[in-house]
């Protein structure tokens, strides 16, 4: 993992809720950098740049270089993001300061491929994902970008388990005592007779309504003509 992922930041000299609110009023996002037996560093981030990183979908598994204006650059791993409960706004970010020796727990995304080559899915089955992310422990330079899971040949009733994961050297699963399920190919949901009858009745009612509207149209046109003549 390289430090080519960069986030720009500015120093802020005060901590606390009041100071954080002032930062947000100024149009920035408050954040803190902590860990590695050093004092915490209070910074603020540019919202659009931060949102761009959040939208990558891999924010918490990416090591960043935070370039602090008028300060030292910090090598960090995102640990927590707080969002506004109503508005689509980021309220605060926590970064863990890391070094080449740091080992930590991190969630890695699952990416399912070759759905078109799964007999179960092509016959109408559904991919039931039990775990969208897998937790591992590893060095920060060894964090996998994703776990690629191949669906080729899987039929209805088949499952994908942890034992198929290709773990890079130095990467370990945090759940090591069982071969847990990641996803299954479930059978398609069959409609009951009652549901089919309700759908048929609704379709018939809709068709009758369309026919009625079509039959009323000429009469309306005639009424308009009589009105114009008067």
- Residue extents of the structural domains in the chain: 6-99, 104-186, 192-225
Q: What does the pLDDT read at residue 226? A: 38
Give the residue with greater pLDDT, 35 vs 229: 35
Q: Of 49 and 14, which is predicted with more confidence?
A: 49
The CATH number of 104-186, from 3.30.365.10, 3.40.50.720, 3.40.50.1820, 2.170.120.20, is 2.170.120.20
pLDDT in tens, 128-177: 999 999 999 999 999 999 999 999 999 999 999 999 999 999 999 999 99
Q: Do domains 6-99 and 104-186 have the same CATH topology?
A: no
Tens digits of per-residue pLDDT, 210-224? Answer: 655 555 554 444 444
19-69 per-position pLDDT tens digit: 898 999 999 999 999 998 899 999 999 999 999 999 988 899 999 999 988
pLDDT of residue 44: 94
- CA dihedral over 148, 154, 160, 166, signed as positive or negative: negative
pLDDT for residue 4: 63
Given this model, what pLDDT does residue 221 score?
45
Give the count of beta carbons closer than 10 Å to the beta carbon of residue 101.
9
Strands (E), 50-202: 64-69, 74-83, 90-97, 103-113, 126-129, 133-139, 147-150, 159-161, 172-173, 181-186
Residue 147, CA distances (Å) to 79, 80, 165 in order: 20, 22, 7
What's this model's pTM, rounded to 2 decimal places? 0.72
pLDDT at 15: 82
pLDDT interval class at 227 (50, 70, 90): very low
- The pLDDT of residue 191: 62
Q: What's the average model confidence in pLDDT over 118-124?
A: 95
Q: Residue 223's pLDDT is what? A: 41
The CATH code that applies to domain 6-99 is 2.40.240.10
Question: Which tens digits make up the pLDDT trace of 174-204?
Answer: 999 999 999 999 998 766 666 666 766 776 6
């Amino acid at each position: 993992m390289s430090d080519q992922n960069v986030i720009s930041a500015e120093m802020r000299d005060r901590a606390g809720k009041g100071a954080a609110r002032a930062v947000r009023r100024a149009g920035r996002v408050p954040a803190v950098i902590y860990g590695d037996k050093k004092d915490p560093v209070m910074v603020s981030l540019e919202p659009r740049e931060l949102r761009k990183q959040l939208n990558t979908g891999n924010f918490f598994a990416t090591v960043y270089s935070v370039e602090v204006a008028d300060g030292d650059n910090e090598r960090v791993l995102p640990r927590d993001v707080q969002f506004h409960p109503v508005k689509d706004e980021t309220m605060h970010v926590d970064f863990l300061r890391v070094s080449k020796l740091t080992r930590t727990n991190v969630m890695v995304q699952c990416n399912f491929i070759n759905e078109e080559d799964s007999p179960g899915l092509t016959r109408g089955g559904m991919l039931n994902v039990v775990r969208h992310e897998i937790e591992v422990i590893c060095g920060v330079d060894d964090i996998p970008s994703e776990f690629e899971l191949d669906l080729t040949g899987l039929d209805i009733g088949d499952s994908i388990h942890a034992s198929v994961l290709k773990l890079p050297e130095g990467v370990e699963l945090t759940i090591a005592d069982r071969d847990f399920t990641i996803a299954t190919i479930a059978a398609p949901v069959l409609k009951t007779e009652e549901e089919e009858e309700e759908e048929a009745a609704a379709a018939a009612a809709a068709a009758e309504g369309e026919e009625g509207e079509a039959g009323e149209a000429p009469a309306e046109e005639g009424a308009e003509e009589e009105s114009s003549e008067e």
